[in-house]
Every structure is written in C-alpha cells, then in structure tokens.
Structure 1
C-alpha cells in the first residue's frame, strides 16, 4: 500500500512501526515525526517524496490534537527524543532531510537502511550554538549510501557519532561533515569516491583548520577506493571513543555482504525475516 499522509504522523513513546511481511510506502505527503518521546522503533518502511505540511490542526496522541506550524518535509524527524532505532528502511527524495535528529536527541541507532537520490541526507544536531546537543550519541551502522546522494551522510554537530561498517558507493560533495566540535569515529566502512577529482575527500568541516584541529575525527580500518581519503584530527584516543564499544567493527572487506540486505526487507509471512 501507499500511505499519503495529509499531516505528520506523530509518534508516541514505546511504539513500533513494523512493516515486515508487507510492502508499505509512506510517500507524496507528510511523513514521520518523533518529538519529545522515547523508545521508538521504525522498521521496514519505504519512505520517499515527503512534502512540507502543517499550519493545521494535527493529532499528536490518541486523546489530543493541536495547532502545528510548518514541517520541513523530512522523511523521519527526531526532535528532543531518545532511544530511537531506525532499521531496515528505504529512504529517498524528500523535501528536506531523509533523517534529521536535533534538539537534544540521543541514544539513536540508524542501521541497515538504504539511502538514494537525495541532497542533504542526514542532519544530526540543531545548530552550532545549540550546546544541548553535546549529549547526542548516534550509531550509524550497516547502511548503504547509494545512487544519487550529494552530502550529509551524516552532517554532525557537538555530539558523539560512531559510523561503522557502512557502504558508501556514491556522493557528489562529501560523505561525512561536521561543525561545532563533534567526535566522529569512522570504523570499517567502505568509501568509494566519485569520479570528480574535487570530491575525493570523505570529510568536510564547516570551519577553518585552526578551529578544528583538536576535534576528534578518526578513521580506523576503513577501505578507501578510487582516491577517497579521510582527513583525521584530534588525538584519536581517549574516553570519547570508548562510548560505542558495544558495537565492534567488522572488517571493511566484508561490508558488501554486511549491507546486502539494507533497506526494507522482502519478507514472507510464516518465515524468518
């Protein structure tokens, strides 16, 4: 089925969207908002062609609806929320970001997703001046960043970001960017640089070098192909890098198999998926 939402689907805490065994598209209208809640799972959806909506009365719970201003048109918008798992979804071609997490959101895992045909893929952190995002911790694992992507895979501010065992087969500007002193730990990824000789660098810092030389950005065990290179900075050690020890990186040589099932799964009822 294709679900065209007139307004945002606003999640409550302790809720799961599980689309295994179906072929569900949320498309051509509003998409999903996770705001001031906790313990949410989104699994198995095709999310694409999301549009700005709002300036309308929108239901935010089974018992309440109220006035909402304009939404940006994100595929999944995470706002002031925690303990969020976005897994095995296919996302493309939305008006703003495919997944954005801002305003003090943390404890987020974005895994096994397939991203295609989009400019600003993923924003993690509200603004350079919003210091509350220093609590943000995000794990980005086993995703395939594929055809037609330009930048922000992800674009990070302030927090700690573990980018592990992802397959980057396309970008036009850069893969990972950041500002405002984020810690970025890149492990066991495969980075295939584009043909464009001016876009070989995986990393992009939105600031001059004198300000970012102490930021902890490191690459460990990454596979760099077609001239791709990662510019590290900071000490590359210390407690900041220990936060993601619960997910150990596998060798980058097997990333293709690790991400072969990325995106919404094709499942059959009655069989394991």
Structure 2
C-alpha cells in the first residue's frame, strides 16, 4: 500500500472528524470518499473518532488507509462498498454500528442518492467485487 504509484491517484487527508451525509465539507472522510472523482488514497491527519450520520458509500478505486493514527468509525452508521471494485480498507477500527432507516446520502461522484435500510454491518458489500 505504501508504494502505490498508479496513474491519476488523488491523495486526500482527513483532517475533520465531523460528518454531514448530504453536504460534506472539505477535510471530512465523506468528502474524500464521495466528492473526489477517480482513484483516491485517503489517509488521516491524527487520531480521531468519526460518527457517521448515515452510511458512507465507498466507490471503486478507493483506498481508506487508517495506518498510523488511531481511527475509529463508531457509534452510528458505518461503510457500504457500493457497486465497487478495487477497494482497500485498512487499519480502521469500525464498531458499534447501528441499523439505519432508508434515507438520502451523498454517493459516488457527489450525487445524492436514496439508500434502503441498512442492518448495521461494519462494512456492507452491495454488488461489489
């Protein structure tokens, strides 16, 4: 993972543990995972605990690299690998996920999309390979 030299990779660092499911702000995990197009490598600036408002949709060619700092995604919604391939999720502590009612969330490429009920898995795969 440390020597990823593929073409056109965007390196993004999470600096803010807050979350807004429909209007993510720069520096947050949701912004990096949904608003940045193409291949992305997401890291974390420091130790943090992220409480996601709604499930986070992870798209293809995304690496979420939690090595180094202590990063917890806990206390509410968790991750959904949505119609995706070539995804790396490493070094995160994902726990205390709760089921979620159907809702709207920011999806891949910055598009708001409906999401059905989610049962509280830490990482849910939906048509993913």
Q: TM-score range by the shorter chain?
A: 0.5 to 0.7
For structure 2, the 5+ residue unaligned runs are 1-47
Q: Which residue in the other structure is 1:43 paired with?
A: 90
CA separation in 1, counterparts of 2:68 and 2:75? 22
RMSD: 1.0
User: Which residue matches 2:58?
Assistant: 11
In structure 2, what is the Cα distance between the partners aligned to 1:25 and 1:11?
A: 17
- Per the alignment, residue 27 of structure 1 pairs with 74
For 1:69-108, list aligned pairs within 5 A. 69-82=116-129
Distance 1:79 1:55 in 2: 15
Contact 1:19–1:43 (8 Å) recurs in 2: yes
Cα distance in 2 for partners of 1:41, 1:54 equals 27
Given that 1:7 and 1:54 are in contact with CA atoms closer than 8 Å, whether structure 2 keeps it comes out as no
Q: What is the TM-score when the length of structure 2 is the normalising length?
A: 0.61
In structure 2, the partner of 1:67 is: 114
Where 1:62 maps in the other structure, the secondary structure is helix
Unaligned 5+ runs, structure 1: 83-273
Number of residue pairs aligned between Structure 1 and Structure 2 = 82
Task: Please give the secondary structure, in 2, of the residue aligned with 1:10.
Answer: strand
Q: TM-score when scaled to structure 1?
A: 0.29
For the residues of structure 1 that align with 2:101 and 2:113, how far apart are their CA atoms? Answer: 11
**Is 1:54 aligned to residue 101 of structure 2?**
yes
CA distance in 2, matches of 1:3, 1:63: 20
Q: CA deviation at 1:63?
A: 2.3
Alpha-carbon offset, residue 54 of structure 1: 3.4
Is the radius of gyration larger for structure 1 or structure 2? 1
